Chains A and B, each alone.
Chain A
Amino acid sequence: MFRRITAVEAAPTKTPSPPSTPLRYGDYSARANIADGGRLCVVVAAISIALLFTAPTARADDPPGAKPYATYCAACHGAGGKGGFASQLGSEAYLQARDDAAIVQSISEGMPGKGMPAWSKSKGGALSDAQIADIVAYLRAFAPTVGAPVAAVPNAPVAPPANAPTSNFAFIQTQLSVTQAENAAGELVVSARLQEYTGYPVSGATIAFSRATTFGVVDLGTAKTGANGIATLILPEAPANARQVDVTFKGDKRLDASAAKIALEPRVDVASGSFDANTVRLSVEEPLLPPEGSLITPNPPLLPTVLFALVVGCIWATYGLVISQMVGIWKHGRGQAWEDVLRKKR
């Protein structure tokens, strides 16, 4: 597939190779500021290739997705996918770069941070899965794409069904590998190396680090790969127990997604590369709450308790004073004439 090769060539030659900056967990200022210019070139290359190979395929009738599109999508994405406030969904560039599953995901789960809400009913949106599939089919009708293999084969009988998976489009297989080490400060450094199937390192790709825990997946942060294809994450602590860190690359317009995981060992000696099972320690001491000095204590602290009792006691004592006034009223009026009045009347 020469298209794929073109893309591969475009990437390494035009992508700048920034230095690999390690990401410190929780330290935003340390995040690598990496230019994304190279990726634009890749996109442009992909679009131009796509333009070369696409031939208009007639679509006879309006798919059932036309109506939900007009109702829910057109406000931002424009009538007929022409674009507006948001992406031009009808463009070939958009449609070529994504398979149906990806578009379905964008619609149903939204794009957090980009203003695209989650639309599927399961996420609280307005659209059923069937409607989303209809909309995807409708979008597919704008640009007769459906992947290079079909378009490239001259005798393709018909375009495949609109919702058929088209993920075989020109994705380059990638590989992630993870290693761990300890730096001079005693911190644990997790390094993820992303490479293409040819072994060529991928630079500028976003790698996500996460950790599966009993209460869900904790996002540890993301880092971009440097010229050597390595993204690093510094964990503030070297865990005392072996824990698993998941490393994922979501894939992009050119590269396929990949994932890897590593079980963090208590300690790895950098110099020898050997694992020292006997040394189990935290490199950074976790700050614990002071046992005293706040109200989070096993037993009520004396001073606040006394003050509290004093305040509440004063209030109730004042109630007592008021009640004594009532008793006074009652005592003072005892044996008065009106009682005789009532008794006689009865």
Chain B
Amino acid sequence: MFRQPTREDILFQPLQSTGKRFYVFVAFLLAIIAWAAYAYFVQMSEGLIVTGLRDYVFWGIYMTNFVFFIGISHAGTLISAILRVTGAEWRRPITRMAEAITVFALMIGGPMIIIDMGRPDRLLNLLLYGRLQSPILWDLISIMTYITGSLMYLYLPMIPDLALCRDRLTDAPAWKRWLYRVLALNWRGDAEQKHKLERGVAIMAVLIIPIAVSVHTVVSWIFGMTLRPGWHSTIFGPYFVVGAIFSGIAAILIAMVIFRRIYHLEGYLTDKHFRNLGLLLLAMDVIYIYFTLSEYLTMAYGNDVADARVLQMLFWGDFALVFWSMILGGFVLPAFMLAVPNLVKIPQRAPTAFRALRPAMAIAAVAVLFFIGFSPTASASADLQAVPLFPLMRILGILAALGGLFWLALPLMKAHPIATIVTASILINVAMWLKRYIIIVPTLYNPRVPIQAVPWEWAHYVPSWVEWSITAGAFAMFILLYTLFSKLFPVVSIWETSEETHVPAHAEARVAEGGAHV
């Protein structure tokens, strides 16, 4: 029976047909995961000595991944719940992919703790002998609560779509039909069921917001409750929550652009969605910069001995390159990328001379950056206070070159607004990963009683191949879960994106179809 292609057909397309590229992609991800599994096997049989972790620096990129994924997980819940509660209509096509990020990020982030442990079996001790006074136990409880809640929050609004899958995808393999049938909970969309569903969704949307906020606060308390320099700070709770929402929005934007391209969802994920989320991202970026300034200014002004050592390492010492790349490239530059193209007007046709000189100017700016930024002569001036002039000139030079590059790229950004927003999102997520690294490692370099008279590698942290492999595996696993989810369930909520009037009509159509089959 020939039917006119409907909106459902577009959204069901990924569920029904699977191309060769999909299998290649999944095989690639599985290869990475297998390699990570081998790395974990090595870690299990040899012990944590195969990692870069030692007595002083006992948390490394595993913990960075943990905080990062928990942060990403705020994408779904907070964004979708806040937008749902406030009744922002444009949220409808993006809520589900956001909520799925939450669930899968938690599934990856939580186990990073176990991977970080040399004796994972002792996790049991937390349940057997756990002390309620310990933030570690708070963390366990809050993450378990959060993952349960976000699973329910993902599942509830999916029930009508699962029913649709059950009714439409009748030629799917038996296990899929069984899955849809069981998960659809006998949904047929009458008033009583709708009422219950709306009630459940409303409760979850309100409840999940404080839970999400509390989870990342508790994660921050793992650091904040210690008396470590750089960690012992009351700002850490809100700082982590804001950072989580910030990186979460960036993660949604990346997911959106990928799904839009691969599943041809241009009709659902419009420029408006990117623009709105981009503005939200800009606001969070500015708030995050404010928090960052507030944190470091407080530390620097107090100038406590141990705090000063940490700041010295961040600003001018071992971590300066990572730190400043993160601040400039990951927070400041994205803010400009998200804001400036909306503000300026540029002429349609640039003067010929300008266009001709553009590549030369770009090369000049890059050359300036390279020579000022990375030449060994420049890095000799490690202390701003001792030699005020030279680093200042260097910083001004770097800023001028970056500004020049930005100015040159402006027409490009103006022409491709979505690509600009997504590039900013990628920069932000890289920076947020680095930020978690920057929070964890420099503090461990600087215990209150300074590390003295130990071999170099005891006092320094360099992630080993095992850690990098498992990290790659974690990201591959996240992408794999997300990909499989998108192949099994519609990533854009069908019933929520339908017109208000469309729902009853659609129900009738289904009844009619069912009748035809009878």
Contacts and interface: CB of A to CB of B under 8 A. Distances in A.
Contacts of A319: 148-149, 152
A337 interface: yes
Interface stretch (A90-98, A192-200, A212-220, A227-235): A212-220
B317 to A, nearest CB: 8
B47 interface: no
Interface in B122-151: 131-133, 141, 145, 148-149
Contact of A318 (B203, B386, B460): B203
* Interface of chain B: mostly helix, strand, loop or mixed: helix
B196 A329 contact: yes
Nearest to A115: B386
Interface string A317-346: 011011101101111111011111110110
A298 to B, nearest CB: 9
* Interface of chain A: mostly helix, strand, loop or mixed: helix
A126 interface: yes
Contacts of A122: 456
A86 B188 contact: no
A300 B137 CA distance: 12
Nearest to B152: A322
Interface in A106-137: 114-117, 122, 124, 126
Contact-residue bracket for chain B? 35 or more
Contact of B192 (A75, A305, A332): A332
B387 A337 contact: no
A242 interface: no
Interface string B333-360: 0000000000000000000000000000
B378 A75 contact: yes
A272 interface: no
Nearest to A121: B456
B187 to A, nearest CB: 6
B303 interface: no
A318 B207 contact: yes
Interface stretch (B255-263, B430-438, B447-455): B447-455
Contact of A342 (B181, B197, B460): B181
B385 A329 contact: no
Contacts of A316: 145
Given A328-B196, A329-B185, A341-B517, A85 B132 contact: no
Contacts of B381: 75-76, 85, 115
Contact of A305 (B132, B149, B152, B451): B132
Contacts of A330: 185-186
A29 interface: no
B514 interface: yes
Interface of A: 71-76, 85-86, 114-117, 122, 124, 126, 215-218, 295-297, 300-301, 304-305, 308, 312, 315-316, 318-319, 321-323, 325-326, 328-334, 336-342, 344-345
23 contacts: A72-B376, A75-B377, A76-B381, A85-B387, A124-B460, A216-B449, A216-B452, A218-B449, A301-B133, A305-B132, A319-B152, A325-B196, A329-B185, A329-B193, A332-B186, A332-B192, A332-B193, A333-B187, A333-B188, A339-B186, A342-B170, A344-B518, A345-B517
The 3 closest A-B pairs by CB, nearest first: A115-B386, A333-B186, A115-B383
